[in-house]
Structure 1
Amino acid sequence: MSNITRVGVDLAKNLIQVHAVDAIGKVVTNRTLKREKFLAWCADLPPGCLVAMEACSGAHHWCRKLRERGFDARMIPAPFVAPYRIQGKSGKNDANDAAAVCEAASRPHMNFVPPKTLDQQGMLCVHRLREALKEERTACMNRIRGLLAEFGVVLPQTPAILRQHLNDVLEDASNDIAGMARLALQRAQEHWRELEAHIQWCDERIAAHQKDDEQVQRAAELKGVGPITASAVVATVGDFKQFRNGAQFGAWLGLTPKQNSSGGKTSLGGITKRGSNYLRNLLIQGAKSVVFTGKNNDDPVSQWAQRLRERCGWQKAAVALANKNARILWAVMTRDKRYDAHHVSVSPAGAMPAAA
């Protein structure tokens, strides 16, 4: 164990596979451990030993525990590990995955995932719960509308109209809704109200996060970035200085175009859609609201989005504004400044050739 310098870990619910190598890359051990024995096994590793794992469910927990014990624990995005599995797709198992993680961690150009704090993960739980409740609420409304249609009652697909007329429909004895169906619909209506209350609780927690966190307040000042987006961005990213610049942050969110370039010829496609789908969707949805209302606002960002919409269409304008907001967020957070809609970027000295 004293010769081990790097360990690759493949995490699972009950079993954990470890692949340890020495300084020259020779395999020291490759074995399976029970979950409760993993930290005890790591206690015999040399201080500061590199322990790498995929960024998956539970990885942030293990990473924090290992760092508390003095190890250099790191997480690698799962797509970056697969190319280092020498057996390819046909040889995927726990042992080969742990070996691939160990090999990927040795690459000097590898991008690692910073572990999230307990507060970050706690806030992200609220966001995930809210998204799940929203899907369940939509399913509940559709279920009610479908059951009503079985008895010839068809209502528009607007939640406000359904909420407004549902009580009247259930109390109207002149329609053909069966008695048992009325009871079932009343239970569905109560379930809908419970979901609304749960979503309201999540919104209150997000509002409290904005009130208590100065970073969330600064992020919410951007055009197209509301309290929910600001809270999600801060809870997900944490330290924005982990990105070298705003362009890298936008690429991490998957808002940059795909490339299929060769022979000096540049070929760009749609956005990569890498990173967090939740953050990217929030930024794009917020950007859509700015694009559609830009003609009513005279601030530079709204006018820029409006001109881009007229030239390229609203879809491209929304994605471009989302990418722009991502870069602005990085600049605001890394420089500890408030958002200024009238800010004019200045190129660094020497970046542009001097005028003749």
Structure 2
Amino acid sequence: MSGKRGKNDAADAAAICEAVARPAMRFVPVKTIEQQSELFLHRARQGYVEQRTALINRVRGLLAELGIVLAQKADTVRRELAHLLEDLPGSCNIVVADAITDLERLDARIAEYDRHIAGCAKANADARRLMQLSGIGPTTASALVATVGDGHDFASGRQFAAWLGMVPGQYSSGGKQRLGRITKAGDRYLRTLLSLGARSVLQSGRKKEDAISRWTRDVEGRRGYWKAVVAMAAKNARLAWAVLRRGDDFRLYGQEAAAGA
């Protein structure tokens, strides 16, 4: 047993050989240079988004010390800051003015990366097919293609959804099925993008009568809003895998969704 302890090249090689010999072992999908380059855009954009969120929260915190409480919505903060600027005392004016400048710079940089990502999605046939699905725009389509390629590392759409952490955790034993919340394992970025897309589907589908809109309203009525969001996001993950794996066009999206793809 002592030979299994510690970390060195020989132990690493032995562990790799043992892992490869196991038929059920899951491996990280191998990415091409093109996929890695596209993911660079996503990682950089997400970094700027996080910086912008941190900046907005920092300014809200500073203004709260003066008794000025701003809503969490970013658009509201941008609008209110310009009105508050001249009325702030002392050096507060300088700090908030600099924050507005930084916020405008981050907005411009994020918009620039959005254009780069949209261009990548437009140039890729798989991404164009993915964008035919409700709730999947250029950013999500590009991220899916750059992360999973043609989806050959997954045996089914449900397996892909499980890899994203969008299926319930199981706590089953003795023949009793117990399902908990979604696991939230896997790629958080993709899961977030799919969830945001699902929210837009629910919002836009309230006045529509297509199959997917009726389905989301039914789920929301029975299970509540957030569970309907997760269900829609998981459905889109399964459909996205089918598009990538089989190259299907999925123009009849409503029929595919209604069939429980």
- TM-score using structure 1 length: 0.65
CA contact (8 A) 2:122 2:138 kept: no
1:208 match: 119
Counterpart amino acid of 1:139?
A
Residue 188 (structure 1) shift: 2.0
2:186 match: 275
1:330 aligns with 2:241: yes
1:227 match: 138
Distance 1:159 1:323, change over 3 A: closer
| Residues 109-141 of structure 1, C-alpha deviations (whole Å, 9 max, x = no match) | 322233111111111111111112111112212
Residue 155 (structure 1) shift: 3.8
Tell me the C-alpha RMSD between the 2 structures: 2.6
Distance 1:273 1:144, change over 3 A: closer
Distance 1:314 1:152, change over 3 A: closer
Residue 289 (structure 1) shift: 2.4
CA contact (8 A) 2:215 2:258 kept: no
Counterpart amino acid of 1:240?
G
CA contact (8 A) 1:250 1:256 kept: yes
1:342 aligns with 2:257: no
Distance 1:113 1:157, change over 3 A: closer
Q: 1:262 aligns with which of 167, 170, 173?
A: 173
CA contact (8 A) 1:86 1:100 kept: no
SS at match of 1:240: coil
Q: Percent identity?
A: 45
2:109 match: 198
Q: How does 1:1-356 map to 2 (within 5 A)?
A: 91=5, 93-94=7-8, 96-172=11-87, 175=88, 177-178=89-90, 180-339=91-250, 340-343=252-255
**Structure 2 unaligned spans of 5+:** none
Distance 2:231 2:257 in 1: 18
| Residues 37-80 of structure 1, C-alpha deviations (whole Å, 9 max, x = no match) | xxxxxxxxxxxxxxxxxxxxxxxxxxxxxxxxxxxxxxxxxxxx
Distance 1:212 1:306 in 2: 34
**Structure 1 unaligned spans of 5+:** 1-84, 348-356
Larger helix percent: 2
Distance 1:338 1:171, change over 3 A: same
> Which of the two has higher C-alpha Rg?
1
Residue 97 (structure 1) shift: 4.9
1:43 match: none
Distance 1:263 1:152 in 2: 57
CA contact (8 A) 1:305 1:321 kept: yes
CA contact (8 A) 1:299 1:341 kept: no
Distance 1:150 1:306 in 2: 42
Runs of 4+ aligned residues of structure 1 deviating over 6 Å after TM superposition are none
1:53 match: none
